[in-house]
Amino acid sequence: MVTNTAAGTPPAASPIVYELAGITKSYAGQRLTALERVDFVLRKGTFASVIGSSGCGKSTLLKIMAGLIPPSGGRATLDGTPVTGPRADIGMMFQQATLLPWLTTLQNVLLPIEVRDGKAAAREARPRAMTLLQTVGLKGFEASYPDQLSGGMAQRAAICRMLVSEPVVFLLDEPFSALDEITRDFMNMELQRLCAAWEATAFLVTHSINEAVLLSDVVYVMAARPGRIAEIVPIDLPRPRTLDMVNSPEFGAYVRRIRERLDTGAFK
Amino acid sequence: MSTPDTARSDTVWVEHVALIDRIPRSLGMAALLVGFVLAWQLLCMSGAVPAILLPTPAETGADLLFVGQNLLSGGYVLKAAATTASEMLLGFAIATSLGIALGILVGETRFGERAVMPYLVAIDTMPKIAFAPLFVAWLGFGIASKVALAAFMATFPVVVATAAGLAAVDANAQMLFRSMGASRLKTLTRLKLPIALPYFFAGLKIAAVSVTAGAIAGEFMGGGEGMGQLIRVAAGQLATARVFSLIFYLSLFGLTLFVLVGWIERKVVFWRR
C-alpha cells in the first residue's frame, strides 16, 4: 500500500504538530454540547479535513484550534505548548478573503506582521511578502487595491497573508467556498502545490466531500448533536492529486463512504 | 451585402428610450424652473394673492441682486452672514466631535450600547427645536445659544451614523484581527473606524443641513445679528421679496457645507468609488 502525504512522508513517521485531547465545548445557557471529546493529532506535512453538515461544530472546533475561543474542557497543544489564545504560528484563512479595501495588496499581506510587531517589522518583511505574491502569481499587483482583484486573486492574497508569518499550521475555514467552481478547482490545486512546497501541516474545514477527498491525507467526518468525530477516513490516493482523479473508482469509493457516514449522522 | 438600410429593416425590436433620458439633465432642470417661474408670474398677475404677500418673480430677482451686491460689497448682509456662518461652523465642529465620542461610546462599548443608547434615541425623537428658548435662557442672546442649538440638533445624526458604522464590521474581519492578536484599540483604529467612515460622512451630511436649521431657529428665538434676525425683521415689515432672497443666500451656506463634506469624503474614503 502506498502512503503518500502532502509532503511525501508517511504520516506515522512524522512528528506531531497539533494535538487535541478531549476537547469539549458547551455554551452557557445551551443544553446541547457543541463538541464532545474530540481527540486527534495532526502530523507534520499532512493535510487533514473535517467535514460535516452545518451546525455540527466544525467551525467551533476550528476556532478553538485557532485560539479564538477557549474550550470548556480538554487541551489543544501546538508545537509542544498549549494553545491559550491567538498565536503567530497559527495561520488562518476564512471563507471571505477579508482584505482591507483601504490597503494595497502588499499592505494587506503584511498586515499580520504590522499588527503584531509594528511598522518596522512590516518593512523588513517586505521582500518576503513580495516573494510570496510572486509564488501565487500576483507579481505586479502589489500596489493594487482589493477592488481591482478578482475573487480568486483576493484569496491568493489571503494565502500570502497567512504565509507571511511563517505559521506552523494552516487552519482553513472553507477558504474557497465563495468562489465559482472553476476557480475553486484551480485554487485547490494551487493550495496543494503550496502545501507540498511548504511541507505544510494543514487542517481544512469544508462541506464539500470532493474537496475533502481531493486534498486530504485523512478526513474526519463529524456528526452533530453533540458535535463529535464519527469516523476517520484515511485517503490513500497517490500525490500529487489531480482533478482527473475525481473520476476514478477509488475516489468514488471514498466519496461514497463519507457520504454514507454523513447521511446516517443526519438522520439519527 | 448588407447596407445600413437593410440592417435597419431587419431589426424587429428596438429599445425605446424615454424623452427625458434623451435630453441633457440640465435642460430638464431648466425647463422645470422656467415653468415654475411662469406659474408664479401668472399667480401674481391673477390677483388671487395680494401683491404685498407674494412678490413677483421680477421683484424677487431684483432683490436677489440687491442683497447679492450688499454681500459682495461687505454690507450689513455680509456681517449677518458671517455671524450665522460662524454659528453654523462652531455648531458643526461641536456636533462632529461630540458625535464621534458618543458614537464610539455607543458603538464600541457594551455599556454605551445598553445604557446610553436608549436615552439618546429618546432625546432624538423629541422636537429638538423646542429646546431653543431654553438655550436662550441658559446662554443668553449672544452667539453661544445659537451655536448650542445648532450643535444639539446636529449631534444625533453623527452619533447614530458612527455607531451604525462601527456595527457594520463583518464577523470575518473581526476574527482576522483577533487571530492576529490585535488589541481592542488596534481593532478599533485599524479596522472598525475605517469601515465606519462612509457611515460617519453620511451622518456629517445630515449634520451640515441640521446646523443651518439650528442656527436660524436660535436666531429667530433669541435675536442676535445673524441672517435669522434679518429674515425676522424683513418678514415683520412684509418685505417678502427680501425674505426670499435672504433664504436663498442662507441655503447656499448649508449647500456649501454639504458639498464640502462630500468632497472631503471622496478624498478620505478613496476606496469607495
ipTM of the complex, rounded to two decimals? 0.86
pTM of the model: 0.83
Residue B267: partners with Cβ closer than 8 Å, 6 or more residues away:
none
Q: Residue A234's beta-bridge partner residues?
A: A218
**What helix, strand, coil percent values describe chain B, rounded to 5?**
80, 0, 20
Q: Select from A60, A94, A104, A163 the residue whose CB has the most chain B CBs within 10 Å, as the one to mutate to test that interface.
A: A94
CB distance A78 to A122 below 8 Å: no
| Topology at the third CATH level for domain B69-268 | MetI-like fold (1.10.3720)
Structure confidence by residue, pLDDT tens digits, B66-124: 999 999 998 899 999 999 999 999 999 999 999 999 999 999 999 998 999 999 989 88
Mean pLDDT taken over chain B: 90
A68:B175 CB<8 A: yes
Is beta strand A16-26 parallel, antiparallel or unpaired with respect to A33-43? antiparallel
Cell of A140: 505586479
| Minimum CA–CA partner of B197 in chain A | A102
A chain contacts of residue B190, beta-carbon cutoff 8 Å: 115
The reported pLDDT for the residue numbered A2 is 45
B190:A115 CB<8 A: yes
Q: Select from B174, B180, B270 the residue whose CB has the most chain A CBs within 10 Å, as the one to mutate to test that interface.
A: B180
Those of residues 103-132 in B touching chain A at CB distance below 8 A are none
DSSP B2: -
Cis before A240? omega within 30: yes
Q: B177 and chain A: CB distance < 8 Å anywhere?
A: yes
Closest to A161 in 3D by CA, of A110, A96, A97, A98: A110
Cell of A206: 469544508
B chain contacts of residue A66, beta-carbon cutoff 8 Å: 179
Digitized pLDDT (tens) for each residue of chain A, 268 residues in all: 444 555 555 555 789 999 999 999 988 877 778 888 899 999 999 999 999 888 788 888 999 999 999 999 999 999 989 999 999 999 999 988 999 999 999 999 999 999 999 999 999 999 999 999 998 889 999 999 999 999 899 999 999 999 999 999 999 999 998 889 898 998 899 899 999 988 899 999 998 999 999 999 999 999 888 888 888 999 999 988 999 999 999 999 999 999 988 876 555 4
Of the candidates B173, B182, B194, the beta carbon closest to that of A98 is on B173
Q: B267 and chain A: CB distance < 8 Å anywhere?
A: no
pLDDT reading at B8 higher than 70: no
Say how far residue B53 (Cα) sits from the centre of its chain.
28
Residues from A contacting B (CB-CB < 8 Å) are 63, 66-68, 85-88, 90, 92, 94-96, 98, 100-102, 111-112, 115-116, 145-147
Angle between helices B57-72 and B76-108 (to 10 degrees): 90
A112:B180 CB<8 A: yes
CB distance A47 to A195 below 8 Å: yes
The reported pLDDT for the residue numbered A28 is 80
Domain ranges in chain A are: 1-89+169-268, 97-166
CB distance A79 to A246 below 8 Å: no
Cell of A247: 473520476
Select the CATH number that applies to the domain covering A1-89+169-268 from these four: 3.30.420.10, 1.10.260.40, 3.40.50.300, 3.10.20.580: 3.40.50.300
A chain contacts of residue B181, beta-carbon cutoff 8 Å: 85-88, 115-116
Of the candidates A85, A90, A94, the beta carbon closest to that of B175 is on A94
- Summarize the confidence of residues B158-186 as an average pLDDT: 92
pLDDT reading at B2 higher than 80: no
Neighbours of A214 (CB within 10 A): 23
